[in-house]
């Protein structure tokens, strides 16, 4: 019969976990303490982050990430506002130029310095093309800003979920492992002698 035994050394305390067939036995309290720990839920972290950006990071106690989350949101929000504003202006100017309504000449705002209306009509084709190009430029970057905003929102949800998964996972700088063969002596738990493998962790 082959038995597999694990011995974990942590400071002065030694716990032994013996696996026999499909039954686990525990001598000591380390595993019980791990089970007793409150589980940090990735689902909760994701749910909180989806409700309000940054809440997932607060749940994970990663407060230093809040400026990054809200900095990204503010920056993309400003980009959306800026590009939307000028898209609307150039859209109105282009429309007024096409319609040629004497009462609506918003396109005059975008005349190059030193140009008069007379010179404008001498270069009508160029001016119309310039207005359309600017309108398309700001529309494209407005749409891109919306995509970036959605990306920031999704990224902070993923970040909260990943942090929650690793919340209780910590490794000491002094962690070491040694594998060595061992002979399993008869005991009240193990009734037969067998050959096993011993994993020693020191942290």
Q: For the chain of 203 residues, list the mean pLDDT of each consecutive stretch of 10.
A: 41 44 46 57 94 95 95 97 97 94 89 89 93 96 97 96 84 57 62 60 52
- Cβ atoms 156, 162 nearer than 8 A: no
CB 56: neighbour CB atoms within 10 A?
A: 28
pLDDT at 33: 46
Torsion sign across C-alpha atoms 117, 123, 129, 134: negative
- Whether the CB-CB separation of 8 and 176 falls below 8 Å is answered with no
The answer to whether the beta carbons of residues 49 and 164 sit under 8 Å apart is: no
Nearest to 98, CA basis, from 63, 123, 125: 125
Of 131, 123, 130, 126, nearest in space to 96 by CA: 131
DSSP state of 174: T
Residues 100 and 184: their CA atoms lie apart, in Å, by: 97
Q: How far is CA 61 from the centre of its chain?
A: 15
């Amino acid at each position: 019969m082959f038995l597999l035994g694990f011995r974990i050394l942590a400071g002065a305390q030694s716990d032994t976990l013996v696996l026999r067939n499909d039954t686990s036995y525990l001598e000591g309290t380390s595993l019980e303490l791990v089970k007793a720990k409150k589980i940090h839920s990735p689902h909760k972290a994701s749910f909180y982050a989806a409700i309000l950006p940054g809440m997932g990071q607060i749940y994970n106690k990663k407060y230093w990430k809040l400026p990054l989350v809200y900095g990204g949101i503010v920056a993309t929000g400003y980009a959306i506002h800026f590009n939307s504003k000028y898209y609307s202006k150039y859209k109105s100017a282009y429309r007024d130029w096409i319609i040629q309504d004497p009462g609506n000449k918003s396109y005059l705002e975008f005349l190059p310095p030193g140009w008069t209306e007379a010179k404008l009509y001498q270069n009508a084709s160029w001016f119309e093309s310039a207005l359309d190009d600017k309108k398309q430029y700001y529309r494209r970057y407005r749409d891109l800003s919306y995509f970036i905003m959605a990306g920031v929102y999704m990224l902070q949800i993923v970040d909260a979920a990943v942090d929650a998964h690793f919340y209780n996972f910590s490794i000491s700088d002094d962690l070491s492992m040694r594998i060595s063969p061992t002979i399993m002596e008869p005991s009240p738990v193990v009734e037969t002698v067998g050959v096993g493998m011993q994993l020693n962790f020191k942290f």
